[in-house]
Amino acid sequence: MIRLPVHMSTALRKVKRVRGQFLAAHGRAPTSTELAEAADVTPAKLQMLLSSERGTISLEAHRRSSDDRSWHELIPDQNQQPEQQIDALHRRQAVSDIVHSLVPAESEVVRALYLEADGRRAKTRDVALRLGCSAAQVRNVEKRALKKLARKPHVRALFNDLDFER
């Protein structure tokens, strides 16, 4: 989660306090110009403060798009060379496309177990709780999906660096 710096939080609290005082004194909400003047900030800074007031999100949260990646996956790893970053991006996209070709239940289980954003594998019981089914059902769906994937030779090449052994 990204937090506002302390001086920004302080200025935002001041703007909110001044807005409340203005409303109480005048019986109406202040205009942007009036609020900026009363809070002793420039109109541009006021707009920045008010826009920073919007809710924060976790970098682990999934974006609302078709690629199903979380926000932190968009931040490049500074330890990798550009070629490695491009290779990893292509590999992730290819793996995502292949997993997407499975039936929805299988795709969801494989994504939850093996393709978590932090790179760690989720536990079967955690996936079962999240999906609202038993751990045995998750294992059965996982086994069926991995058998399907293992039959495809081009898939094995992509998964060679992932540990699919349980």
May I ask the CATH architecture of the domain 71-161?
Orthogonal Bundle (1.10)
- Tell me what pLDDT residue 166 has: 38
CA nearest neighbour of 68 among 29, 41, 19, 104: 104
Structure token pair of residue 155: 């898939």
pTM for the full predicted model: 0.42
Q: What is the pLDDT of residues 51-100, one digit of tens each?
A: 877 666 666 666 665 556 666 666 666 666 777 777 777 777 777 778 88
Q: How far is CA 144 from CA 106, 110, 123, 135, in A?
A: 8, 10, 18, 14
Name the fold adopted by 6-52. Answer: Arc Repressor Mutant, subunit A (1.10.10)
DSSP conformational letter for 162: S
Neighbouring C-beta atoms of residue 35, cutoff 10 Å: 20
Contact yes or no for 131/112 (Cβ under 8 A) = yes
